[in-house]
Amino acid sequence: MATFAYGRVSTTEQTTENQRREIEAAGYQVDYWFADEGVSGKVSALQRPQFAKMLGQIRDGETLVVTKLDRLGRDAQDVGATIKMLAARRIEVIVLQLGKLDLTSTAGKLMLTMLAAVAEMERDLLVERTQAGLARAKAEGKTLGRPSKTNDEQRRQIAADYAAGVSVSELARRFAVSRANILGIVKPSA
């Protein structure tokens, strides 16, 4: 039976080579290597091109090795569904981060459930802290978001010129901003 390995990195500046080396250093002879580079962790496992390709090649009863749990999905629900689908095919799933534990085994399923619950709690706490920080910043009068590319005087001039018949494209060139920026000034959304 063959051993498949899968790696993923979020940006094209990164490489999956370290993940491959980590798997081989753990003693696995990788027969087939699949890697999605430049694919965000927010993309579900089945929508990642190389992961989907790997699923088409791996046979029932073979082994899949990854370095970290998040390589198997975008969130606890996605990871759980991926593991369940692989377990139905009797594919052994090894996550090195968890100490060579087969996630399709009984102990592995228990560990996965606990880890998923902790990960979900951490994500919820992060969202709460972010929202609290944003609320505090607003209360302190801080302006949130990207700084404007135009100042108040420029926005008044853009609005006046547009009302006088100057085109959006001409205004964009004149003020060195995008057409969308000009449209946001002359036709603000409600």
In a domain, 146, yes or no: no
The three-point CA angle 118-122-124 to 5° equals: 115
Q: Are residues 88 and 31 in the same domain?
A: yes
Domain boundary among 79, 107, 135: 107
In a domain, 86, yes or no: yes
Positive/negative CA dihedral, 65, 66, 71, 77: positive
Q: Are residues 97 and 157 in the same domain?
A: no
In a domain, 46, yes or no: yes
Contacts of 174 (CB under 8 A, 6+ apart): 161, 166
Amino acid at 97: Q
Instruction: Tell me, yes or no, if 10 is annotated catalytic.
Output: yes
Q: Which residue has the higher pLDDT, 166 or 73?
A: 166
Q: Quick: pLDDT tens for 145-159.
A: 888 889 999 999 999
Contact 186, 162 (CB under 8 A): yes
Strand order from edge to edge, sheet including 32-37: 32-37, 3-9, 63-66, 92-95, 101-102
Q: Quick: pLDDT tens for 93-116.
A: 999 988 877 778 888 888 877 877
The end-to-end CA distance of the chain, in Å, is 61
CA dihedral 138, 119, 73, 110 (to 10 degrees): -160
Q: Are residues 169 and 93 in the same domain?
A: no
Q: Find the domain containing 10 and state its range.
A: 3-107
In angstroms, the CA 26 to CA 24 distance is 5
Stretch 135-154: mean pLDDT: 90
In a domain, 27, yes or no: yes
**Residue 50 belongs to a domain with what CATH number?**
3.40.50.1390
Amino acid at 143: T
Residue 190 has pLDDT above 70, yes or no: no
Structure tokens at 71: 């390589």
When divided into structural domains, the chain yields a total of 2
pTM for the full predicted model: 0.61
Q: Are residues 7 and 82 in the same domain?
A: yes
